[in-house]
Amino acid sequence: MKYLRIEPRRPKVGIFDFTSCEGCELQLVNHEESLADFLACVEIVNFREASAARDDTYDIALVEGSISRADEVERLKSIRAKAKTLVAFGSCACFGGVNRLKNACDLVAANREVYGAHPKETLPVRAVKEIVPVDLEIPGCPVNKPEVERIVQHLMMDLPFQLPVYPVCVECKQRFTTCLYERGELCLGAISRAGCDAPCPAGGLGCWGCRGPALDANVEAFRSMVRERGFSQRELDERMSFFGGFEVRS
């Protein structure tokens, strides 16, 4: 069957996890109303969390998680060598995610405190693109399944996919959510990349920027606005550094 005069293909997909909570992988088996269609579009050949299939021949590798051990570096390089398209899947893979917070700690002292005489190997956290070339990033903690489905449709047709470049505020306004600044609360929606449909402000929580910065986000103007509204630099930096997607100067 052709669509837009293009013959869609059914790519072989391998799904791999590194340092992560595996919540992004879980998203793949969520959204049950479209799960059967999703699985008809792709051939899952490697997915430890949900399938016994094991095949090292795949077109697309979805890589979840950040990299924090030497053996992970080697495994990631081996996946990169086999995949035609490597996708950093979720904020841990794209930016280091919440795991990146540990880079601000003394890892030797933390290891001693937690594991005593039996320290665990742990390297400073890196995003996937800091180790191997990445073809596509799908940010989000977790990823947004409808967005993942749209991306897979594009990959099937060999069409380029563009993540939204505008900020979360656009989607927030489309939902008619009252701005949290009206309630005196902090929100990173003005500088964060949209595509999640702004669930956090709709649920009464400020955006924490899990999808990283929107294109051309004017962070300096945003910092001034937030300062004028009475929030401290520290509060803002803590929030902006939470998922590792923003450059934070302090």
Binding site for ligand SF4 (CB under 6 A): 20-24, 64-65, 90-92, 97-98, 141-142, 168-169, 172-173, 177, 179-181, 187, 189-190, 192, 196, 198-201, 207-211
31: buried, middle or exposed (CB in 10 Å: 19+, 13-18, 0-12)? middle
Q: What is the distance between the alpha carbons of residues 140 and 143, in angstroms, rounded to a whole number?
A: 4
Structure tokens at 172: 């927030």
| Shortest distance (Å) from residue 35 CB to ligand SF4 | 18
**Do the beta carbons of residue 90 and residue 97 sit within 8 Å?**
yes
CB of residue 205 to ligand SF4, shortest distance in Å: 7
- Residue whose CB is less far from ligand SF4, 9 or 48: 48
- Work out how close the CB of 24 gets to ligand SF4 at its nearest, in angstroms, rounded to a whole number: 3
- Give 62 or 190: the residue with its C-beta nearer to ligand SF4: 190
Q: Torsions phi, psi of 194, nearest 5?
A: -75, 180
Nearer to ligand SF4 by C-beta: 42 or 214? Answer: 214
- Least Cβ distance, residue 242 to ligand SF4 (angstroms): 9
User: CB-wise, 83 or 92, nearer to ligand SF4?
Assistant: 92
Which residue, judged by CB position, is nearest to ligand SF4 in the bound state? 189
Sheet with strand 60-64: strands edge to edge = 43-47, 12-17, 60-64, 85-89, 136-138
Collect all residues with Cβ–Cβ distance below 8 Å to 187 and sequence separation of at least 6: 179, 180, 181, 201, 206, 207
The 8 Å CB, 24+ separation contacts for 221-229 are 222/190, 222/191, 225/190, 226/186, 229/181, 229/184
Q: How far is the CB of 177 from ligand SF4 (least distance, A)?
A: 5
Q: Are 113 and 58 in contact (CB under 8 A)?
A: no
Q: Residue 152 Cβ, how far from ligand SF4 at the closest point, in Å?
A: 17
Q: Give the nearer residue to ligand SF4 in terms of CB position, either 156 or 187.
A: 187
> 76 vs 92, which CB is nearer to ligand SF4?
92
